[in-house]
Amino acid sequence: DWDIRLLLTKRSSINMELARTSSDDDAPSTMNYSILLQERPIKQTVTREALTLLLDTFYNKAESFLSSEVKLSLDVERLVQSVKALCTSLAAVETPDITAALNQLPACPCRLQPKVQKDISVLSNRENRVAIVEKLTAAILDLVELYCSTFNANFHTMPHSSRSTAPIQEAGMITNVLSFSVYAAHRVPITWAASYENFFLSCSLTHGGVELCAPQHTSKQSVSKYLFHLVVWDQRVCFPVQINQLPRESQLTVTLYATSLPPPGGAEEKSKQKRSIEALGWVTMPLFNFRHVLTCGRKLLGLWPSTTASGNARSSTPNFSQPDSVILQVDFPTSSFEVHFSTPPPAEFSPQYEFSRLDQGCQKQLHDVLHKKSLFWLSPEDRRLLWEKRYFCHVEASRLPLVLASAPSWEWACLPDIYALLRQWGCMNHLDALGLLNATFPDQECRRTAVQWMDSISDPELLDFLPQLVQALKYECYLDSHLMRFLLRRAIGDVRIAHYLFWLLKDTLQDSQFSVRYQYLLGALLCCSGHGLREEFDRQGWLVTILAKVAQRVRDATPSSRQAILREGLDKVKEFFTLNTRCRLPLNPGMLVKGINIQSCSYFNSNAVPLKLSFQNQDPMGDNISVIFKA
């Protein structure tokens, strides 16, 4: 056993180099908060300067087309080429308005379609050419506006009208069924045309992973060649669900399927081969945005490859992080008013009854259901019983997730009873409250209550929950959430929490689906941190990068040469400590080291060949710090 020695010291002598200072408070923030609250990807494909140059080229070609008398076919081709260049820069999207305008031009080598204008003599009339150019110009400007509303571009168009002044209609009062139109899938790989046929979309509505109705399917179509390769459906999808029956956190998931073509061969062989239907991509989006307004208008949704599914968690952000992702064009109904989902107040009547008032048989049945280990083991009969007897379950405070999972619906009309139950329920312990932050409970009030119950947790205990809480961010419908604000607030108040949160977020950046969300949170954390802590994170990242390269070289080397390569690589670590007199280890901010003991370092002969490292402790009274590094 070791004796613990306590030393009384003055506050002025405590090392505060990682804390925020008054200079940090006065320094301008580098985090773009307007982008933080916008549900947009962080990638952009065109700058304002490049787009201006392309638009000037289009206007010049349009003027040549209008004044053309002799070389009309050549001017048509140049005009189409300028339109194609514009569309290519704007995410390779060809809207139906652009297609309709181009169809009034005769065929040219870069665009051969059966629906194009056959009689070129129609263009001899200047008024007809002017009408075509006007339609093309309007369609291109609409595409630019669509691009700006989808991507985080460094430019914006002038809005046609102010949505802030639009009248508001409550979602609970709208009895229209949910519907939208699917136009096409853009940026379709050319290889798909030779490998698949019968492309169709499966559209489903879910809340907390539960389907609200049967999936709806589009017709089956093939790849078409316009300016680009795309699959055109131009079809309306209608769900048998009224808008007032939609939960606020309802998710629309669209999955692209296709039938694989058999390999080349004889007709008899093809007939014997079984044709399989493959899922090629999917996208999930919330129907209500973070302001609780029902989505409307034209949307571009980047599809995630079906091979990148991350368990039960699916990103509610379209995939624009991959520059070649297939883009789905969807048109939601627009109106003169905004459909807003207001949070209803809790019901006034929500009694609490004694469990003993139930008869013995019902008590035993309810007791058995309440003590099931997981809500996934609840049968439909169990759920019906739990919700029917919910006013008798308050004595089992930790069983709230089971009761809420039994709610028959989370639509607007059912929320007052659910919120009344939440308000009157006894405060759950921190571990049980964590159960309300999984994917089954996307409701904002439910998650807010869970975070509120966890707010009493101490800083040392919170460190044990951080890995789970960081993963729970995947199940938030929106980037700006109560859980995210809770983590940032606690990180500001404790350097250890900020340190561990930083490295947990760095690790999650490898998740392609959720990397954008975690990048925003990591940026917000660095913005809230002081200059000293940010510099410390830079040093730690530098050290980890050096060690990762050393570990890779050791793993790739032959067993006989590994020790020599390790010694050679650790010289780089020694140079690091020459430039940086000390550094904290990512494992623990309390481990402050000033160098490395190369002679005491080695490696393990397992498959990953992890390194066994020995660092020199900055504390002269402390022992050397031994760690295992595995890249």
Question: Above 70 in pLDDT, residue 106?
Answer: yes
Count of all residues that appear for the chain in the document: 631
Q: Whole-prediction pTM value?
A: 0.87
pLDDT at 118: 62
Nearest to 251 by CA among 303, 200, 289, 216: 289
Closest CA to 82 of 154, 137, 146: 137
Of 428, 471, 467, give the one whose Cα is nearest residue 451: 428
* Closest among 497, 495, 498, 520 to 509, alpha carbons compared: 520
Give the Cα separation of 300 and 40 in Å (integer).
11
Q: In what order do the strands lie in the sheet with 297-302?
A: 223-225, 229-242, 177-186, 327-332, 297-302
Q: What is the pLDDT of residues 227-265, one digit of tens each?
A: 899 999 999 999 999 999 999 999 999 999 999 988 766
Beta bridge partners of 180: 237
Q: Is the pLDDT of residue 504 over 90?
A: yes
According to DSSP, the β-strands at 229-242 and 177-186 are antiparallel
Beta partners for residue 614, in sequence order: 626
Distance CA 355, CA 339 (A): 42
Quote the pLDDT of residue 35. 39
Where helices occur in 280-410 by DSSP H, the ranges are 360-370, 380-388, 400-405
Least reliable range by pLDDT among 170-174, 453-457, 620-624: 620-624
What homologous superfamily is domain 427-526 in, according to CATH?
A: Phosphatidylinositol 3-kinase, accessory domain (PIK) (1.25.40.70)
Shortest CA distance to 531 belongs to which of 16, 11, 14?
Answer: 16
User: From CA 113, how far away is CA 26, in angstroms rounded?
Assistant: 61
On the CB side of 40, CA atoms within 13 Å amount to 19
- pLDDT exceeds 90 at position 47: no
The rounded distance, in Å, linking the Cα atoms of 76 and 79 is: 5
CB 565 within 8 A of CB 582: no
Report domain extents, the chain.
48-150, 163-340, 344-413, 427-526, 533-629
Domains 163-340 and 533-629 share a fold: no
Q: What is the pLDDT of residue 312?
A: 55
Band of pLDDT at residue 114, cut at 50, 70 and 90: low
Task: Answer whether CATH 3.50.50.60 is correct for domain 163-340.
Answer: no
- Does the domain at 533-629 match CATH 3.40.640.10? Answer given as no
Q: Which of 15-24, 555-564, 598-607 has the lowest mean pLDDT?
A: 15-24
